[in-house]
Structure 1
Amino acid sequence: MPARIPSWAWVSGLTVAAVVAVGALAAQADQGPHPVAAAPRPSASASAGKHPPAAAPKHTAPPAAPTGSGTGRRVVYSLGQKRVWLMDERGMPSRTFAVWPGTVSPDPGAYAISQRVADPTKGSDGVEIEHIMYFAGKAGVFVAFSNAVDGSSPPPVAEGIKTGGVRTGKEDGTALWDFAAKGTRVVVVD
């Protein structure tokens, strides 16, 4: 009678095969084309200090969500990494992207999306913004996620101006808007 292979050996073998397959697919996907934001059109307000869209840096693998950032469906915002993760119901990241924080950052802790503004408006830096989602406040400044309508990165902030906008790229802003309804948890970590 042939020797029977223990079930743990089968599970281990299948797990190793799955990890290798996912790694191969990720490497293959990284070789493909990467989206680049379109350059903004010149306008009469070009003197307002707008900067051209920033090209997304190439990463072989997105950074893992910070430990201690909670569980379940949530938005995780790392102050130190200047990065946001959209975490699904299982606590797995469905998307991550870099952000440009304002001059006022929220304290680490748990918050919730308290208000969403659908109509574009001018940010405190004079740039037309959309997908505005307020989640915190500090030092008399409201802190909110948003993206520039034209896809530009934020201009350098003038000395002494307090801004609470956490600016995203245009596609990332749309993904965040679609993900984070009013009441969605936002966990801010160092």
Structure 2
Amino acid sequence: MARGSSGFVAGLTAAALAAVCFLAYQASANAPDSVVDPSAGAPGTATTASPSPKPAPPAQPLAVPADSDTGKRVVYALKDRRVWLVDDAEKALRTFTVMPSAVSPLPGVYAVTSRSGSIKGSDGVPIEHVVRFANVDDVSVGFSAAQDNSMQSPDPTLKTGGVRMKRPDGDAMWTFATVGAKVVVVP
């Protein structure tokens, strides 16, 4: 090989090495912080710092609300738009979302006062498995399922008390919440 070409190869090698170094720097500069633990020190070095504590696992998002009384009960969380059917052993047998009524009861403990198998709702929608538990300003408030399985937002101009759920959830509520059953409403 001629002497002039060896300088050319050395130049190409140096350029390639510089490109690799630049790309490696870019990759390390753009690496997310979660990949590197800054308290761990460099590989192969001893550290005296104690390991960081692991974050606490998140609370169960669908757990029965803590301040919802005890025993067998229906728990209705107004803000979460969610209902839990809780047995005597404090186990949630079922939880599901609901569409709140235009009129809502205050937080507190209630009891199922009456039930109807199939009627027309105060909004004109055919409903089933109606479980009533409160009265607010002469409006009866209760859980029900629309026979067409809809969960429309209530008309805010009407004073309706139907807390709507899907039909399978209405079936479960009907079986669980007989007259006298405890209903706990939480914020």
Give the distance between the partners of 2:135 and 2:156, measured in 1 at CA: 20
Task: Name 2:134's counterpart in structure 1.
Answer: 136
Q: Does 1:169 align with 2:166?
A: yes
Deviation by residue 1:6-44 (Cα, 9 ceiling, x = unmatched): xxxxxxxxxxxxxxxxxxxxxxxxxxxxxxxxxxxxxxx
Task: Name 1:110's counterpart in structure 2.
Answer: 109
Q: Secondary structure at the match of 1:111?
A: strand
Task: Name 2:95's counterpart in structure 1.
Answer: 96
Q: Structure 1 segments of 4 or more deviating over 3 A?
A: 156-159
Assess if the C-alpha contact under 8 Å between 2:127 and 2:147 holds in 1: yes
User: CA RMSD of the aligned region, Å?
Assistant: 1.3
Q: Secondary structure at the match of 2:171?
A: helix
Rg comparison, structure with higher value: 2
What is the CA-CA distance between 1:157 and the residue it aligns to? 3.3
Give the distance between the partners of 1:101 and 1:136, measured in 2 at CA: 14
What is the CA-CA distance between 1:168 and the residue it aligns to? 0.7
Structure 2: runs of 5 or more not aligned: 1-59
Task: Name 2:186's counterpart in structure 1.
Answer: 189
CA distance change for structure 1 residues 99 and 73 in 2, over 3 Å: closer, same or farther?
same
What is the CA-CA distance between 1:158 and the residue it aligns to? 3.2
Identity of aligned residues (%): 50
Number of corresponding residues: 128
Task: Name 1:67's counterpart in structure 2.
Answer: 66
Task: Name 2:57's counterpart in structure 1.
Answer: none
Task: Name 2:123's counterpart in structure 1.
Answer: 125
TM-score, normalised to structure 1, is 0.65
TM-score, normalised to structure 2, is 0.66
Deviation by residue 1:52-102 (Cα, 9 ceiling, x = unmatched): xxxxxxxxx761111110111000000010000000111110100000011
Q: Secondary structure at the match of 1:178?
A: helix
Give the distance between the partners of 1:147 and 1:167, measured in 2 at CA: 5
CA distance change for structure 1 residues 110 and 127 in 2, over 3 Å: closer, same or farther?
same
